[in-house]
Amino acid sequence: MTDSIAAFFAMGGYAFYVWPSLGLTAVVMVGLLWSSWRGLRSAEGTLESLRAAPTPQGTEASGRPE
Amino acid sequence: MKPKRRRLTFVLIGLALLGAAAALALSAFEESIVFFYSPSEVREKTVGEERRIRVGGLVEEGSIERAEGGLVRFRITDMAEVVPVVYTGILPDLFREGQGVVAEGRLTNGVFRADEVLARHDENYMPPEVADALKKSGQWQHMERALQESGQMAGETAP
Amino acid sequence: MHRFANPNRFMQISGALLPWTAASTVLLVAAGLYLGLFRAPPDYQQGESVRIMYVHVPTSWMAMFCYTFLAGSAAVGLIWKHPLADLSAKAAAPIGACFTLLALATGSLWGKPMWGTWWEWDARLTSVLVLFFLYLGYIALVNAFDDPTRGVRAGSILALVGFVNVPIIKFSVDWWNTLHQPASVFRMDGPTIHTSMLIPLLLMGVGFTTYFFWVWMLRVRTEIVAGKIRAHRRRQVQRAPVDFAGDGRAVSTEG
């Protein structure tokens, strides 16, 4: 059983090339996805807080209506 | 509508001109773009002795001779012409008779002194059992012809 | 086309589609990896190194697909001035750049054991490297100008000009002698890959495509939200009273 697991990881002697290929692909694709999702969350959060905040009124000297 | 139609026309004409320019440039620089010459092309072009070039084709069956000091002799063939090669150094895993090969070096007195040898493989992917079955049934030879027909190597069917 | 010109419409549709693209991606890639790594046989020639094909080939397909998508969006933006077209192009660029980088890296890791070299300047490899630079160039141009519309226009023109590289990549292995072998899947006489390998390969290809749309939708949504933030801030600036005359009296410019 452990033999076939070891054989799987050895990839016929090409482990040094196969696993970094798979690993790099996973890291970059997951990283891009996560970064894109985080970017969206962050933007949505900013928009939320902008809409929730009261609009600025200015100084007392202004007699103009808002 | 009008300005939209004009922009579309400009883009299409622009792309067409670009395509034509690219085609011209590529055909002009073809010498620099090809990765290797086939043995037939080496013969045709009568390449100068001191020019560094690459020769590519198949390792001729029965042509590999290994000498002391790690020296290897073999012949590169495209089924029409042959280039004898002499090389000392590391050979890729795939290097064997009947396999695709690209050697880089100089042609001296009709013998190619290579300082780098790369393996090429074809576009076929299959399990070992299927390959063995094809070889047994005699259908394997057709692959060599398929290589020639696809233009990968010069040979009887090459333009 | 006008129905989809509305960004809010895009938010609606993409919001509904997101969970489906996410689920499809996970399922397709999981199935492709399982079949490719555990069920598919080694290659008669390349042995176990052929497992790299299950990421190298799909990322290469996506590198070209994303660029075509980018150039198409740029063209629509330039010609029809569709408001979402430029956002679509901006969203696609980084995804394509990542796929191209992966295609180059996995290709290099595959080339060393099989060909005997990490890199050669053959037509296929060189044109894919050019593709990578085109992506970076597009991203740089779009972000280079203070006026975003100028950056997008410059980028769109680069994207269209660079499109000539895509057929060059595809046909390089047919037009010239190259180290890289000819096509195994998309060819006139049909695939030259055994079915046991072709199926996981296609699953990965489709899975990477749904992945593209998943990330692309997230990024376009972000661009739309960013646009709303900018619009909101512009309105804030207009409303907020400013002391123009410097006499202690602040005056609103709105109204």
The string of pLDDT tens digits covering residues C20-56 is 999 999 999 999 999 999 999 999 999 999 999 999 9
Residue B47, pLDDT score: 74
B9 & B73 share domain: no
B118 & B43 share domain: yes
Distance CA B10, CA B2 (A): 12
- Cβ(C97)–Cβ(C132) under 8 Å? yes
Task: Classify residue B54 by its DSSP letter.
Answer: E
Distance CA B126, CA B145 (A): 18
Q: B103 lies in a domain?
A: yes
Q: A9 lies in a domain?
A: yes
Q: A63 lies in a domain?
A: no
Q: A44: which chain C residues are within 8 Å (Cβ-Cβ)?
A: 225
B10 & B61 share domain: no
Closest CA to B75 of B64, B66, B67: B64
Residue A1, pLDDT score: 65
B26 & B45 share domain: no
Residue B152, pLDDT score: 53
Closest CA to A56 of C247, C249, C235, C226: C235
SS3 B59: strand
Q: A66: which chain C residues are within 8 Å (Cβ-Cβ)?
A: 239, 252
Q: A55 lies in a domain?
A: no
Identify the H or E element spanning B75: strand B71-77
Task: For residue B59, give the CATH number of its domain.
Answer: 2.40.50.140
DSSP bridge pairs for B52: B106
Backbone angles phi, psi at B125, to 5 degrees: -130, 125
Identify the H or E element spanning B114: strand B111-120
Are C78 and B7 an interchain contact pair (Cβ–Cβ within 8 Å)? yes
C-proximal residues of A, 3-22, CB under 8 Å = 10-14, 17-18, 20-22
Q: A38 lies in a domain?
A: yes
Measured in angstroms, the CA of A10 and the nearest CA of chain C are apart by 9
Which class is domain C16-41+50-183+196-239? mainly alpha
End-to-end CA distance of chain A: 77
Q: B21 lies in a domain?
A: yes
**Is the CB of B92 inside 8 Å of chain C's CB atoms?**
yes
- Cβ(C159)–Cβ(C135) under 8 Å? no
What DSSP string describes C63-95? HHHHHHHHHHHHHHHHHT--HHHHHHHHHHHHH
Q: A27 lies in a domain?
A: yes
Residue span of the structural domain in which A40 resides: 2-48
Q: A65 lies in a domain?
A: no
- How far CA B77 is from CA of B83, B96, C34, C92, in Å, comes to 7, 13, 41, 45
* Residue ranges covered by each domain of chain C: 16-41+50-183+196-239
Amino acid sitting at position C17? L
Picking from A52-56, B38-42, C136-140, which range would have the lowest pLDDT averaged per residue? A52-56
- Beta-strand pair B82-88/B71-77: antiparallel
Q: B145 lies in a domain?
A: no
B115 & B62 share domain: yes
Are C109 and A39 an interchain contact pair (Cβ–Cβ within 8 Å)? no
Q: CB count, 10 Å around CB of C54? A: 26
- Cβ(B56)–Cβ(B120) under 8 Å? yes
Average pLDDT over every residue of C119-125: 96
**Per-residue pLDDT tens over the stretch A5-48:** 999 999 999 999 999 999 999 999 999 999 999 999 999 999 99
**Is the CB of C223 inside 8 Å of chain B's CB atoms?**
no
Closest CA to C116 of B81, B84, B121: B121
Task: Classify residue C12 by its DSSP letter.
Answer: H
Residue of B nearest to C180 (CA): B120
Q: B115 lies in a domain?
A: yes
- Beta-strand pair B111-120/B82-88: parallel
B94 & B41 share domain: yes
- pLDDT higher than 70, residue C134: yes
Measured in angstroms, the CA of C115 and the nearest CA of chain A are apart by 13
- Residue B43 neighbours by CB under 8 Å, 6+ apart: B81
- pLDDT higher than 70, residue B30: yes
C-proximal residues of B, 10-49, CB under 8 Å = 11, 14-15, 18-19, 22, 26, 30, 33-38
Q: B120 lies in a domain?
A: yes
Q: How many structural domains does chain B have? A: 2
**Per-residue pLDDT tens over the stretch A45-60:** 999 999 887 665 544 4
- Cβ(B73)–Cβ(B67) under 8 Å? yes
Q: B45 lies in a domain?
A: yes
Distance CA A41, CA B111 (A): 66
Q: How many structural domains does chain A have? A: 1
Are A47 and C228 an interchain contact pair (Cβ–Cβ within 8 Å)? yes
ipTM greater than cut 0.85: yes
Q: C127: which chain B residues are within 8 Å (Cβ-Cβ)?
A: none
State the best of A9, A21, A30 to mutate against chain C, taking most chain C CBs within 10 Å: A21
Task: Extract the tokens encoding C122.
Answer: 């053959």
Task: Measure CA C197 to chain center.
Answer: 25
Are C48 and A22 an interchain contact pair (Cβ–Cβ within 8 Å)? no
Measured in angstroms, the CA of B34 and the nearest CA of chain C are apart by 5
- Residue indicated by tokens 């070039």: B53
Residue span of the structural domain in which B108 resides: 36-126
B91 & B24 share domain: no
Q: B153 lies in a domain?
A: no
Q: A62: which chain C residues are within 8 Å (Cβ-Cβ)?
A: 241, 249-252
Residue A4, pLDDT score: 87
Task: Name the residue among C98, C105, C252 with its Cβ closest to that of A62.
Answer: C252
Distance CA B31, CA C14 (A): 49
SS3 B65: strand
Query: CB pairs below 8 Å between A and C: how many?
Result: 118
Distance CA C50, CA C36 (A): 9
- Cβ(C105)–Cβ(C119) under 8 Å? no
Residue of B nearest to C117 (CA): B118
B40 & B14 share domain: no
Average pLDDT over every residue of C185-213: 96
**Per-residue pLDDT tens over the stretch B46-105:** 777 778 999 999 999 999 999 988 899 999 999 999 999 999 999 999 999 999 999 999
Q: C42: which chain B residues are within 8 Å (Cβ-Cβ)?
A: 127-128
- What are chain C's partners, defined as 3 or more CB pairs within 8 angstroms? A, B
What DSSP string describes A23-65? HHHHHHHHHHHHHHHHHHHHHHHHHHHHHHSPPP---TT--S-
Residue C162, pLDDT score: 96
- Cβ(C5)–Cβ(C187) under 8 Å? no
